[in-house]
Structure 1
Amino acid sequence: MEKNSDNQYIATVSVVVPVYQGEKTILTLVNELAEFTETSTSATGIRYVISEVLLVHDSGPDNSAKVIHDLSTKYDWVRPVWLSRNFGQHAATLAGMSASVSDWIVTLDEDGQHDPKEIANLLDTAVEENSQLVYGKFAGGALHSRWRNFFSALAKWLYTKLLSPQDGEFFSSYRLMTGEIGRSVGAYAGSGVYLDVALTWVVDRSVACEIAPRVEYPRQTGFTFRRLLGHFLRLVLSSGTRPLRLVSLIGFSSFFIGFFYAAFALYGKVAHGYPVEGWTTVIVFVSMGSGAILFSLGILAEYLGVVVRNAIGRPLYLIRSSPFNDVLSRTRKSKQSN
């Protein structure tokens, strides 16, 4: 939190940038962010300043490390975060969020598709919608290849329709969140968790802010089909225990269906008889046996669900600041005082 000479609140923003192949793009991005390291004002009157830019080096194959080091030497507001090896985009973003110190956290990509000027619009949306989490949503879709946009839209549709209905269509790597929420998620999220799923665990709701699409800086992309498929699998595995609950439901249902069908077969044997000797016995054993197996799988799925929730780090609760004196309320009051 910052105050100027008139004791007027100025919202501080930490910008987290995971860097994998950013040798040719990071300098341009940091130069764009430099404009907002002095106090700026949004369209609705919110005063804010980028107090730090955290460049998280994810041990990529290029010479990003030297560029990051040079930038941190040149600018005191550039803070490098060095990961010991390549952990992936979401882990790198979580590391930067954990290391931040400002009131708000913004995450954006190294490739230049996210315009730093839109940070002001994200702040305005957070205050207007009273939301601790805002996603930047490209008007008309991101300027990626058709296959990438198609699979991204398909993954979000599957998530919202089959796995979890909460906010999946908003997911984007351009995010604004309160520092309190971001640092908490960075502290408890387990290995391999999908960052946006972890955020839905602790925010009441997220909203989207429409932003203008922008062409990426010229570079070799690090998003191969294999990497995008890995993101989708992480999304599915982090989405909770709904698939396991489906296994449980199938197991319990099969057990009772098998039990009643076996009873029906016994009744038919006694009441009418069957011309084929041993048919009733086979039906009873198959129905009861398969039902018992699936019932056992259902029980195992329930236990596995408990293990999964613990492994991915989903918290039982999260204590937040008073809604009358948190970052949102202070930012709103500063807007009203202008």
Structure 2
Amino acid sequence: MNDAQRVSVVIPVYAGEQTLAALVAEIEKFTSPQKTGGGVDFFVCEILLVHDCGPDRSDVVIGALSKKYSFVHPVWLSRNYGQHAATMAGMASATGDWVVTMDEDGQQDPESIQVLMDQALREGLQLVYAQPTNPAPHGLVRNFFSKAAKIISMRLLGNASIGRFNSFRLIDGEIARTLSAYCGNGVYLDVGLFWITGRIGHCPLELREEFGRPSGYSFLSLVKHFWSLVLTTGTRPLRLITIVGAFSILFAIGFALYALYEKYTGQVPVEGWASLAVVMAFFSGVILTALGVIAEYLAVTMGIAMGKPLYVVSSKPTRSNRS
């Protein structure tokens, strides 16, 4: 089975003290050569646990797992950089023909790796996203906003073929390593994948319950996550501001013509101060909103131009100040 597909599994770890051991034990059975349901020879050649300096003792667990299993390789980040940066740090170290990215909480079943592999090889895909067939166990409000955010991001990218993003992905190994080598700070991982992949698929899969711990994302962090996605999708939001500005001008012209008509026909007395205050408030808000969005783009551009690193790998674990 020398031609078996080699799979690297990348797991960004923030608060995995209670879940990592069980997850790695599940993946262990795939480290020996075997066949997928579609008859493809494959095996997991390595598990890359990327320590993102969370608040618990994940570093201790990662160290113990790397000693217990020869296929477990730790990647120590110098501080907390976030899930996407940690994922790209793992992809940069991956050696497999394919790279699977998955969460630490156990929602995503390792058994599904072979299903993703079968679809990728059957359809000649470079990137396959898991498409959950059941709602994520996060509550109706969060699931609604998560779905809406992904639909908005898909529209901003201007290509419906990429569909909805998911952290459970199968990526062509060369693409994963290339992306992690040049992708700069502030670039959303799935946006970067969209830039360099031409064939993208979605595989219906069922999510499991998390391994006894809540999500590590707060509502505020999710909002920041979404805003980062918006800013790195390109210039479409800036174009949207231009369109809003054009409509604002048309609205102002129409409002002025209406006010003049009412004044000279004598049907309704037009009070100048009230209308002036409304118009000034409206257009001041439009201008400030436009300047704010442009400033955010400049901030992202400055971070890239100054060479701010996406992540830094160190030789030893670092724990969060909050632990």
TM-score scaled by length of structure 2:
0.76
CA distance in 1, matches of 2:224, 2:50: 20
How do residues 86-235 of structure 1 correspond to structure 2 at under 5 angstroms? 86-162=80-156, 164-167=158-161, 169-235=163-229
Q: Tell me which of the two structures has the higher relative contact order, counting C-alpha pairs closer than 8 angstroms and 6 or more residues apart.
A: 2
- Amino acid corresponding to residue 246 of structure 1 in structure 2: L
1:12 and 1:312, CA in 2 relative to 1: closer, same or farther beyond 3 A? farther
How do residues 203-282 of structure 1 correspond to structure 2 at under 5 angstroms? 203-249=197-243
Tell me the percent identity: 46
Q: Is the 8 A contact 2:151 2:164 kept in 1?
A: no
Q: Is the 8 A contact 2:186 2:300 kept in 1?
A: no
Structure 2 segments unaligned to the other structure (5+ residues): 258-286, 305-323
Q: Is the 8 A contact 1:189 1:312 kept in 2?
A: no
Structure 1, residues 22-69: CA drift from partner, whole Å, max 9, x if none? 000000000001000001211111111100000000000100000000
Structure 1 segments unaligned to the other structure (5+ residues): 265-295, 314-338
Aligned residues: CA RMSD: 3.7
Shift of 1:164: 3.2
Shift of 1:12: 0.4
Q: Is the 8 A contact 1:54 1:81 kept in 2?
A: yes
Give secondary structure in 2 for the equivalent of 1:170: coil
CA distance in 1, matches of 2:173, 2:196: 13
Q: Is the 8 A contact 2:156 2:233 kept in 1?
A: no
1:41 is the counterpart of 2:35: yes
Q: Is the 8 A contact 2:124 2:199 kept in 1?
A: no
CA distance in 2, matches of 1:146, 1:255: 39
Structure 1, residues 184-236: CA drift from partner, whole Å, max 9, x if none? 11112221221111111111131100112211100243121122112111111
CA distance in 1, matches of 2:215, 2:157: 29
* Match of residue 72 from structure 2: 78
1:145 and 1:167, CA in 2 relative to 1: closer, same or farther beyond 3 A? farther
CA distance in 1, matches of 2:133, 2:243: 40
Shift of 1:250: 5.3
- Amino acid corresponding to residue 120 of structure 2 in structure 1: A
CA distance in 1, matches of 2:161, 2:91: 21
* Match of residue 327 from structure 1: none
1:210 and 1:245, CA in 2 relative to 1: closer, same or farther beyond 3 A? same
Q: Is the 8 A contact 1:241 1:305 kept in 2?
A: no
TM-score scaled by length of structure 1:
0.73
* Match of residue 32 from structure 1: 26
1:78 and 1:91, CA in 2 relative to 1: closer, same or farther beyond 3 A? same
* Match of residue 275 from structure 1: none
Give secondary structure in 1 for the equivalent of 2:176: helix
- Amino acid corresponding to residue 102 of structure 1 in structure 2: G
* Match of residue 53 from structure 2: 59
Query: Looking at CA atoms only, which structure, 1 or 2, has the larger radius of gyration?
Result: 1
CA distance in 1, matches of 2:145, 2:297: 30
Give secondary structure in 2 for the equivalent of 1:214: coil
